[in-house]
Amino acid sequence: MDHSSVNVCLFCNQGNMGETKMATVFDRIEGNDKVFEGAEYKADSLLFNAIESARNDDSCKIFTDHSSVVIMIPEKGNRVWIWTSDTVNDDTAKMIDICRFLRDRGIPKVEIYLKHDISDSFSDMYAIASSEMDYVVKDELSLAIFKYEGDRPEAYSGDEIIHIDKNNPAHVKLVTDFYRACCDEFRWHDKFDRKVEEYLNTQLYAYIRDGKMIANTVIGGHTDDFIRIKSVAVLSSERRKGLGYTMCKFIINKIMDCDKMPVLYTHVGNAAAMALWAKAGFKLHDKLYLLKVDEV
C-alpha cells in the first residue's frame, strides 16, 4: 500500500473525500454468534484455534461486527487475535475501525495475530496510525500452524514427567526456577513474574531430573476436535539429547487419550522447532501473521 494515497485521519470518522463515515460497532459476545456459522469462518476455524477455544473462556473477551470481523482481547497479557473475512482485505474503512478499536482498548506492547492475506494492508494502516498513537511497529513475523497427521506414538513408560499443580509450593518453585534459567533467552526480564503466573495457570507437564525441571510442555486451546500444544521447552544445557522429542511424543499421547488431535503454532523462522514438529509427525496446515507493537 502507498501510504501517501491514504489521505485519512484514522481516528476521525471521515472517509477519503471527507464525507462522514459511521464507525463499525464491535459488540462483545459470549458463546455463539452468527459470524461463527459462516462458511468463511468455519474454513478458518483451525487456523484460529485460539479464538475457537476461547469462546466460552473467561480469560478473554470476544468482539465482533457479526459479519466479517472477530477480535479476541485477553483479560491479561497483550495477545490480540483478529479474524477477518475476505471482504475486509479491500475495506480500508473497516481496517481503520479495527485500528481505532484497538487504540481504545489501550493494550500496551500489543501483539496482533491475523491472516496473511490482510497483513500487508493492515501493517501499513498501523504504520500510518503511528503518527497519531504513541507506538511503533517493532516486528513482523510469520507464524505456522501445524496439524498432527502421524500415528499414535508409543506411550511413555518413565516416571520423570509430572503434571504441575499450581497449589503445590514445590511445583511452583520448579516452574519459577526453570523460567528464571531461561529468562535471558526468552527476554522476560520486564515480565518474569507475569509469565510465571501465566504458565502456572496452564496445563503444564514437566520432566524432572534430580529434583530439577529440565524440560516441559504446555497445552491449551481445547475445542471439540483439537487441543493445542502451546510450547515445548528444554533448558539450553539439556538440548540435543532427545528431550524435546520425548516431550512431543508424551503430549501427543495425552491429547489423543482425550480422543482429540494435536495442533500448534510456531514461528516460521524457528528452524529447530519446525524440524522437531515435522519429525514428530506434524504437517503444515497454514500460516498466520504476527505484528508486534512497542511504545515510543
pLDDT band at 194 (very low <50, low <70, confident <90, very high): confident
pLDDT band at 8 (very low <50, low <70, confident <90, very high): very low
In terms of CATH, what superfamily is 161-280? Answer: Gcn5-related N-acetyltransferase (GNAT) (3.40.630.30)
Euclidean distance between CA atoms 149 and 281, whole angstroms: 6
Q: What is the mean pLDDT of residues 95-114?
A: 87
Output the pLDDT for position 134.
66
The DSSP bridge pattern shows strands 79-84 and 111-115 to be parallel
**What count of Cα atoms within 13 Å lies in the side-chain half-sphere of residue 154?**
4
pLDDT band at 10 (very low <50, low <70, confident <90, very high): low
> By C-alpha distance, which of 117, 127, 136, 102 is closest to 3?
127
pLDDT band at 3 (very low <50, low <70, confident <90, very high): very low
Global pTM value? 0.81
pLDDT band at 39 (very low <50, low <70, confident <90, very high): very high
Residue pair 50/228 in contact by the 8 Å Cβ criterion = yes
Q: Is 15 exposed, middle or buried (0-12, 13-18, 19+ CB in 10 A)?
A: middle
Output the pLDDT for position 55.
85
> By C-alpha distance, which of 97, 108, 99, 48 is closest to 72?
48
Output the pLDDT for position 4.
38
Sign of torsion, CA 102 105 111 113?
negative
Q: Is the pLDDT of residue 66 over 90?
A: yes
144: amino acid identity, one letter: A
Output the pLDDT for position 296.
67
Of 127-131, 136-140, 236-240, 248-252, the least confident? 127-131
Q: What angle do CA 281, 282, 288 make, to 5 degrees?
A: 170
C-alpha cell at 147: 496439524
Residue pair 264/229 in contact by the 8 Å Cβ criterion = yes
* Mean pLDDT across the chain: 85
Output the pLDDT for position 2.
40
75-91 pLDDT per residue, tens: 888 899 999 999 999 89
C-alpha cell at 178: 526453570
**What count of Cα atoms within 13 Å lies in the side-chain half-sphere of residue 38?**
16
Euclidean distance between CA atoms 50 and 57, whole angstroms: 11
240-265 pLDDT per residue, tens: 999 999 999 999 999 999 999 999 99
pLDDT band at 7 (very low <50, low <70, confident <90, very high): very low
Domain spans in the chain, listed from the N-terminal domain onward: 3-146, 161-280
Q: Is the pLDDT of residue 166 over 90?
A: yes
Residue-wise DSSP of the chain: --GGG----TTSSB-TTS-B-PPPP-EEE-S--GGGGSHHHHHHTTTTHHHHTTTT-TTEEEEE-SSSEEEEEESSSSEEEEEE-GGGGG-HHHHHHHHHHHHHHT-TT-EEEEEHHHHHHHHHHHHHHTTTSSEEEEEEEEEEEEEE-SPPPPPP--S-EEE--TT-HHHHHHHHHHHHHTHHHHT-TTTHHHHHHHHHTSEEEEEEETTEEEEEEEEE---SSEEEEEEEEE-GGG-SSSHHHHHHHHHHHHHHHTT-EEEEEEETT-HHHHHHHHHHTEEEEEEEEEEEEEE-
Q: What is the mean pLDDT of residues 220-235?
A: 91
Of 25-39, 115-129, 244-258, the least confident? 115-129
259-288 pLDDT per residue, tens: 999 999 998 888 888 998 999 999 999 999
SS3 of 28-70: the string is EECCCCHHHHCHHHHHHCCCCHHHHCCCCCCCEEEEECCCCEE
Q: What is the mean pLDDT of residues 93-117?
A: 87
